[in-house]
Amino acid sequence: MIKSKTRVLFRLGDKIFPKFTLICSLIVVAVLVNILIILFIQAWPAIKESGFSFLVGRSWDPVKNAYGALPAVYGTLLSSILALVIAIPISMGAAIFLTEIAPSWLRSIASFIIEILAAIPSVIVGLWGLFVLVPVVRNPIESWLGTHLGALPFFQGPPFGFGFMAAAIILAIMIIPIITSLGRDVLKSVPGAQREAMLALGATRWEMISRAVLPYGRSGLIGAIMLGLARALGETMAVTMVIGNGYRITASLFSPGTTVASKLASDFSESSGLSLNSLIELALILFIITLSVNVIARLLIWRLTSVKGKAD
């Protein structure tokens, strides 16, 4: 009697348990969908009020109820793209070093050290940036660029230290470990036969890397870079602490600026009414930008793995 009862119970478990895990998975999907819906609903008063001018407006003035997102979006894109310009050569070099050049005992130690950088909380990177990096950016970096390349529009104005330049360097530091470790995984997935074939043709090691390994992993490497970009676009604390909080559009990298994330971090808790709705609309814009970059990056990385599957 008892035996059959437990058996029924276990059979029931086979019905219930998979459903239960499905429900938990659906919660994850629901959270993602709800972020989009809730942000949209909360931003709606601002969308209705400002309309298209929100996207092209250049001022953020709660007194006049005039809200324009352009300087924040500009700051986000400028600092992130500049960060990529700094981070790509360093992290590609590091990824190639870790898979192709380093002796095997060095590989795991070096990877571990670089990965620690990714684990340091953003606010602590910001603290370091505030007290160590910003003074260095002001002098010598900005003052040198100002005296020698001051004719270029990017290097004009007084060297503040706080500004796009400092933000870009901090962002570069934060995305180097991400691009490096993803890039390393991509290069690892390149079949050894690719390398051997190239070396057998008499290629030097660099020719082997540049003509056999990198072209094979190209889409995966681009995916890794885009995931780094997505991270840079949404990075908040470290940027907020060094970018200087100026709401303007200027070519000068010395100038204080704002990103969408830093605007949210510094204004959100003191806002209410339409100004709050407008900030939520900013968050919605940031969400949509990072979502698109993430989706493209994932698809690129998936394409590589499926190509690899076919090759096997």
Partner 1 sequence: MRHKSARKWFNLLMLGLNSLGAGIAIVIVCLMLGYIIAHGLTFINLDFITGSAVPAGQPGGGMHNEIIGTLILVGLGSIIAVPIGLFTGIFLSEFGTPFTVSVVRFATDILAGVPSIVVGVFAYAIIVKPMHSYSAFSAGAALAIIMIPVVARTTEESMRMVPGSMREAALALGITRWRAVVSVVVPGALAGIVTGVMLGVARISGETAPLLFTALGNSFGYSGLGSPIGALPLQIYRYALSPYKNWQQQAWAGAFVLVVLVLIISIAVRWLSRKRRV
Q: How far is the CB of 167 from partner 1 (least distance, A)?
A: 15
C-beta separation of 297 from 227 below 8 A: yes
Q: How far is the CB of 248 from partner 1 (least distance, A)?
A: 21
Q: b vs e for 260-298, b when ≥16 Cβ sit within 10 Å of the residue's Cβ?
A: bbbbbbebeeeeeeebbbbbbbbbbbbbebbeebbebbe
Q: Which is nearer to partner 1, 137 or 250 (CB)?
A: 137
First to last CA, the chain: 54
- Tell me how far apart the alpha carbons of residues 308 and 48 are, in angstroms, rounded to a whole number: 48
C-beta separation of 296 from 226 below 8 A: yes
Q: How far is the CB of 147 from partner 1 (least distance, A)?
A: 25
Q: Residue 258: which of 286, 293, 225, 277 has the closest Cα?
A: 286
Q: Which helix (H) or strand (E) element contains residue 67?
A: strand 66-67
Q: Which is nearer to partner 1, 156 or 194 (CB)?
A: 194
Q: Which residues contact 96 (CB under 8 A, 6 or more apart)?
A: 187, 209, 213
Q: Which is nearer to partner 1, 56 or 123 (CB)?
A: 123
Q: Which is nearer to partner 1, 236 or 275 (CB)?
A: 236
- Tell me how far apart the alpha carbons of residues 259 and 41 are, in angstroms, rounded to a whole number: 23
Q: Which is nearer to partner 1, 98 or 212 (CB)?
A: 98
Q: Which is nearer to partner 1, 78 or 239 (CB)?
A: 239
Q: How far is the CB of 40 from partner 1 (least distance, A)?
A: 10
Q: How far is the CB of 93 from partner 1 (least distance, A)?
A: 2
Q: How far is the CB of 50 from partner 1 (least distance, A)?
A: 18
